[in-house]
Structure 1
Amino acid sequence: MSDSKSQQSSEVPTLLVRDSNNSELLCFLEQIVPINNIEYVLLTPVDTPVCLFHLLDEGDPELIKTIEKKEPVLEVADVVLQEHDLRLIRSAVTLTVSGELEEPEPEELEEKDFDDESETYELLVSFKVEEEEYGLYIPLDPFFVVGKLEDGQATVVEGDEFDKIQPLIESELEERDN
């Protein structure tokens, strides 16, 4: 993973994008999509995005969709990741991990299909907090962030605005591919 990231970083410009909470995420600029005289941008995080799951004794792990930045679970995750020379970053939009991630051998890859959207994840680390087990998983599907450029600044497109603009961006990108 680190080789492709370093190759990509030398070829693709980066943008610092902010969300409504003023949290930041450094991203590669993948596409600029002008719609109604506004420049929307399709971005991918520079660091590796991760999702936090509560690992249950029975059934599929449960995705934790909203989490406070000072959550004790994240403090434990920080310590576990530091043992692997990795760092958890509480970024805009998603949690990310920075550091050199080792490429797993294909036979060692523990892929899990869970979540309603049947996304595929790879377990990065698991750990316990107060007898509850958690895991940080890397989504194997591409992780895109939609932003808006205004006055040289990039902001994350969220909520209702995202719901309205997403189909227009998808339509524009489909037209470009044809």
Structure 2
Amino acid sequence: MSSSAYPQENGQSDLGSVTLIDEVGRRLNCSIEHTLEVDGEEFLLLMPRDTPIQIVAWDEEDEEDFADATLIEDDEEIDLLFPDAQAVLAEQNLTLKRTAYTLTVAGELPEMDEEEILTIEVEESDVELEPEEFQLLASFYHEEQEYGVYTPLDPLLFLARTNSKGEPELLSPEEFKKVQPLLEDLLFDELE
């Protein structure tokens, strides 16, 4: 590991932060959780400073009392739902933000209620992924459709590299797949 442009101690950030900017100019302030150098390239493990959230659409319950949850990821659909989600979160003194790569909220989250935990099993072709758990923050209706606003229980992390301008940029999915084993090995070695 060589010297980095970002402050760190034992690989861990101490107040270092960067801002990710997406293709439409939205910003996401992140703290630098870890920096690594692999083959002369610097990689940053980033965590949003505000709390990430996810909007979930609920399908009608069937005869077995199960409902299907669908994560809302389409930008146009998020734009339609944003005012309603913003209003229900404001009732809890939470400020919804349209940030880069994920929606976030600022403010103090309510205490976790075990009965309000949603477990979602994400399916990808030929890959078995761990189920993700989310805490319900609020629910609302839009055009007779029920939605929930949830925050993940596990931290949302981004992997970026420092580009030639010294700015962070996210890795593409293909780049991430190539670098992931190296980063996991380095992080594991540093934790020992």
For normalisation by structure 1, the TM-score amounts to 0.83
Structure 2 counterpart of 1:112, which letter? L
Report the Cα offset of residue 72 of structure 1: 1.1
Counterpart Cα distance in 2 of 1:137 and 1:80: 12
Q: Residue 14 in 1 paired to residue 28 in 2?
A: no
The equivalent position to 1:147 in structure 2, one of 129, 142, 160, is 160
The equivalent position to 1:92 in structure 2, one of 97, 100, 108, is 100
Question: 2:187 aligns to what?
Answer: 173
Q: 1:102 to 1:16 in 2, by over 3 A?
A: same
Report the Cα offset of residue 109 of structure 1: 5.1
Q: Deviations over 1:131-156 (max 9, x none)?
A: 00111111001211111112331122
Q: Deviations over 1:3-55 (max 9, x none)?
A: xxxxxxxx432211223443221011100011121111001110000111101
The equivalent position to 2:28 in structure 1, one of 25, 28, 44, is 25
For this pair of structures, how many residues does the alignment match?
166
Question: 1:8 aligns to what?
Answer: none
Conserved 8 A contact 1:18-1:156: no
Q: Which has the larger radius of gyration?
A: 2
Structure 2 counterpart of 1:57, which letter? E
Larger deviation: 36-45 or 82-91?
82-91
For normalisation by structure 2, the TM-score amounts to 0.77
1:5-84 aligned within 5 A: 11-58=14-61, 59-68=67-76, 71-84=79-92
Conserved 8 A contact 2:95-2:106: yes
Larger deviation: 33-42 or 18-27?
18-27
Report the Cα offset of residue 76 of structure 1: 1.2
- Partner of 2:174, secondary structure, is helix
Structure 1, gaps ≥5 residues long: 1-10
Structure 2, gaps ≥5 residues long: 1-13, 62-66, 123-129
Counterpart Cα distance in 2 of 1:154 and 1:68: 26
Counterpart Cα distance in 2 of 1:177 and 1:46: 23
Structure 2 counterpart of 1:172, which letter? L
Question: With CA pairs under 8 Å and 6+ residues apart, which has the higher RCO, 1 or 2?
Answer: 1
The equivalent position to 1:120 in structure 2, one of 118, 123, 133, is 133
Counterpart Cα distance in 2 of 1:19 and 1:162: 17
Percent identity of equivalent pairs: 36
Report the Cα offset of residue 96 of structure 1: 0.6
Structure 2 counterpart of 1:148, which letter? R
The equivalent position to 1:110 in structure 2, one of 102, 112, 116, is 116
Counterpart Cα distance in 2 of 1:16 and 1:32: 15
